[in-house]
Amino acid sequence: MSTISLTTIQTNLFWEDRNANLQMFESKIRQIADKTEVVILPEMFSTGFSMQPEKLAEKMDGFTVNWMNSIAAQKKIILTGSLIIEDNGRYFNRLIWMLPDGNYGWYNKRHLFAFAGENKYYTAGEKRLIASVKGWKINLQVCYDLRFPVWVRQQNTNTGLDDAQKIPEYDLIIYVANWPQRRTHAWKTLLQARAIENQCYVAAVNRVGDDGNGIYHSGDSMIIDPLGEVLYTKADVEDIHTIILQKEKLTEVRSKFPFWKDGDSFSIEP
């Protein structure tokens, strides 16, 4: 059965300082000694969670996306994380999924954090992105999306098929975040819930340290298996962690407890 290796980078961020952040991440990525296939950075990794897109936004052909392209090619990895993008006069909190061959996909954060005014500055995304790597299907999400289970729910598109023909929509959810410590209980609980209810792995990367508004982030990045068991977590310190996920474990859980086959059919309108 296939495996996939992930490296999570939990770190402090330099507030609204793209060059300092990219230099820091480049150094950390070059430190990764283990063989890895996907490297995951936090939400708005080049700036921190800023509400100043008019000052900080970049184009898709801008410096940071080109930097991701270069690093992915040099290290032969998939590199992912979100940043502030300006596209046709609108600002997006956009997750980039950069492949080592220079091809990429993107996902615009669907649920904007109105509590911090994100909805006043950014445009919400309208569709999900499920990437494919070595036979693994990966659902890509950003921070506040975590609170909305319908958006990430495994779609039951197998109506009319017998059980032997049914397959789940995806195998892994990746969340990138700037989730504050004051709501860390919700973070931990919801991440485990998403793994259990979707019978999939979850990999969630959060930042640590104070942001430019004095809000503290404890990290608590996590990797969770399809039964909701925590395979890795780290709080309050910077950490680089590589883990190999086993498709065999996923298949075993889904075969032994085939709850996903009983899911409701539904559709989501933008």
Active-site amino acid positions: 43, 109, 143
- Token digits of residue 8: 């999570």
* Alpha carbons 148 and 146: distance in angstroms, whole number: 6
DSSP reduced 3-state for 106: strand
| Closest C-alpha among 163, 118, 169, 165 to residue 144 | 118
* Alpha carbons 145 and 79: distance in angstroms, whole number: 20
For β-strands 3-10 and 38-40, DSSP reports them as parallel
| Closest C-alpha among 8, 52, 32, 47 to residue 220 | 8
In single-letter form, the type of residue at position 240 comes to: I
* Alpha carbons 88 and 100: distance in angstroms, whole number: 27
User: Please, which residues bridge with residue 83 across strands?
Assistant: 94
**C-alpha to C-alpha distances, 138 to 27, 80, 135, 170, nearest whole angstrom:** 26, 12, 10, 6
The residues, ordered by sequence, that sit 6+ positions from 21 with a Cβ below 8 Å of its Cβ are 13, 14, 45, 46, 47
* Alpha carbons 128 and 200: distance in angstroms, whole number: 17
